Structure 1
Amino acid sequence: MENTDNLFNPSLAAALIKLDPEDGEQIMEYFKTHALLTREKALLQASVRDQKKLLVENGKLKKDIEQLRVQLQEKQRRRTAKALLSPAPPPQTLSPALTAPVNQPSSSAGVTAAVPGNPPPPPSQERRDRQGRRRRGERKGRPTSDSLSLGAEPCIDVSRLDLRVGRILSVRQHPLAENMSVQEVDMGENGPRTVVSKLGVKTQLEELQGSLAVLLCNVKACKLRGVVSQARLLCCSTSDDSSELVTPPVGSNPGDRVTFLNYPGDADKELQSKQRVWELLQPDLQVDSKGVANYKGCGFEVKGKGLCRAPSLTNCIIR
């Protein structure tokens, strides 16, 4: 740090001493001390900013490591399935020298005897064995259904969710449930979908009308307290029951697909309840410290338009 004496003009110090010979030097010392404290405060603030920047970078590195770990596990699972499905090596055949018939005395009928060993099965027995394999589905050269099932099981990731943008046309209170509401939502289809939602007690229903939202569209239609719900409205909520709609980026239109850069798979036509896909994925659907909706650090994205966000909440779950 440079000397504090250089912070002030010597003529200013001389003028102060001349005006006030008794207290001029004390005033100058006060000014110097104040300047020194100001500089130390600025250095401390810069150090705090650097520390926050490091914390953010560490968070990003942790997310990258987690994504790499998931990808590695997926590759290992595929490699194991491929090894199980690969055909067995063909049996080794004996050389012609070993299979050639040994000099055997011919029988009285003039027929040469075969090499000692198991006699070949008669044609009728071989035919019966082939028919039995067909009945059991064990055709030669084809893997059985049990071996195919090892590689056919789909992986569970967010690409299986059909997430789309919708516009809420109307909102009303559920006639049979105080904690539920019924929305009519334009999904860019021939007609609107009816959605039954359980929103937080602090949510003002009249404010939702006309808003854009993100909906899960490939859930099975089900009846909730007498009203059939055809989709699921995604909300972010905190422990104190504060909730908001997950909001698409500006410029989105009803029917726009919400995708994930690291998970490019196709969505299921309809999620099967026995597979519990939503229940397995929902714990990893969160809003980060910047208010961006994401799955394992990968943001909800409407291609060409931007990321989906929570209007004001951060570090909360999506349900």
Structure 2
Amino acid sequence: MDNKDNLIDPSLAAALMKLDPEDGEQILEYFQTHALLSREKALLQTSVREQKKLLVENAKLKKDIEELRVELQEKQRRRAGLKNFKAKALFSPTRSPAHTPPVNQPASAAPTDLPPPSSSSHDQRERQSRRRRGERKARPASDALSLGAEPRVDVSRLDLRVGRILSVRRHPLAETMSIQEVDVGENAPRMVVSKLGQRTPLEELQGSLAVLLCNVKACKMRGVVSQARLLCCSASDDTTEILAAPVGSTPGDRVTFLNYPGDPDRELQAKQKVWDLLQPDLQVDFRGVANYKGCGFEVKGKGLCRAPSLTNCTIR
């Protein structure tokens, strides 16, 4: 028998071998296989429950997005109508038909027959000219609104929070992956699938504080839904550590950046590739402090986030 026999009580195994020496080993193998299948079934049932919960949340998010889209389209229609109205007013004739010379009158006689321009008409043309100049100055801003201004791309768009790892285990379908259950200060913990190095001792991670990216879109990783991203420090594929939150932090604490204030996105959009654009600037310096373009990962009033032992490495 191989090392899987520890799933069956040794006394039961001995009794079966004693009762039936010839077929006892096959019976034990059958029990062993049944126990493994039962365990895998329990893991899959847990994954299905999490998936159903995510489907409900996704439906709610889709409804919110649809309402925001309708509201945005309505605002764009109103803005376009206002812009067309201003354009018509801008290019409409400013001269009164009374000032147009008669059709049958010789062109040479027109200057003598036309009355001199009055001060009121001159003032009107001046006001229209000022309005036209003001319209040209304001047009870039209105165009930016109608076309959609380019969103900022900096670290303030990431929803980084402190989390406590409640449990950790190897992924049943991938040896290089692990599954963490993490408390991030919400009503229920989040399931997180991470690719840690094979040398990382998983049993030491349980109960530790970590930093998680919480506004990524939930996705399946080898059959298990991952609801956040665990930030790790990596010097190579085999040397990986989780980024540690400062001592005294509590689950749900925000990680902020002094030079980059602002509220994070509700959910990072995959097509904008915000994480891919920011990740090269997420580094651990020579002191072991995590930073973005030299600005430290900070939990206000509690300190800076650090790598446990690595320096001069990347954050992924």
TM-score range, shorter chain: 0.5 to 0.7
Higher-helix-fraction structure: 2
Structure possessing the higher radius of gyration over alpha carbons:
1
5+ residue gaps, structure 1, are: 1-84, 107-114, 116-140
TM-score by length of 1: 0.56
**Cα distance in 2 between the residues matched to 1:210 and 1:196:** 17
Q: Residue 100 of structure 1 corresponds to which residue in structure 2? A: 99
Determine helix, strand or coil for the equivalent of 1:185: strand
The offset of 1:142, in angstroms, is 9.4
Q: Aligned partners of 2:143 and 2:215: how far apart in 1?
A: 29
Aligned to 2:110: none
Q: Distance in 1 between matches of 2:146 and 2:276?
A: 23
The Cα of 1:306 is off from its aligned counterpart by 1.1
Aligned equivalents of 1:144, 1:286: Cα separation in 2: 36
Structure 1 residue aligned with 2:280: 283
Give 3-state SS (helix, strand or coil) of 1:180's partner. strand
TM-score normalised according to structure 2 size: 0.57
Aligned residue type for 2:292: Y
- C-alpha spacing 1:238/1:142, structure 2 compared with 1 (3 Å): closer
Cα distance in 1 for partners of 2:179, 2:197 equals 14
In 2, Cα distance between equivalents of 1:104 and 1:90: 27
| Structure 1 runs of 4+ with >6 Å offset | 103-106, 141-146
- For residue 159 of structure 1, give the secondary structure of its aligned residue in structure 2: helix
Mapped to 2, the partners of 1:275 and 1:104 lie a distance apart of 62
**Deviation per residue, 1:80-117 (Å, 9 max, x gap):** xxxxx9x9995698678x963547889xxxxxxxx9xx
Aligned length, in residue pairs: 200
Q: Which of 291, 294, 310 matches 1:294?
A: 291
Question: Which residue number in structure 2 is paired with residue 254 of structure 1?
Answer: 251
CA deviation after TM superposition for structure 1 residue 153, in Å: 2.4
User: 1:105–1:276: structure 2 CA closer, same or farther, 3 Å change rule?
Assistant: closer
Q: 2:313 aligns with which of 309, 313, 316?
A: 316
Contact 2:197/2:237 (8 A) holds in 1: no
Offset of 1:304 from its aligned partner? Answer: 1.2
Give, in whole Å, the separation in 2 of the partners of 1:159 and 1:317: 19
Q: Could you tell me which runs of 5 or more consecutive residues in structure 2 were left unpaired when the two chains were aligned.
A: 1-82, 106-113, 115-137
Are the equivalent residues in 1 in contact too, given 2:173–2:222 (CA < 8 A)? yes
Cα-to-partner distance string for 1:169-199 (whole Å, 9 max, x where unaligned): 0001100000000000011110110000000
Amino acid at match of 2:264: A
Q: 1:22-101 counterparts in 2 under 5 A?
A: 100-101=99-100
The CA distance in 2 between the partners of 1:176 and 1:231, in whole Å, is 19
Q: 1:317, 1:143 → 2: CA distance?
A: 40
SS in structure 2 of the partner of residue 189 of structure 1:
coil
Residue identity in the other structure for 2:295: C
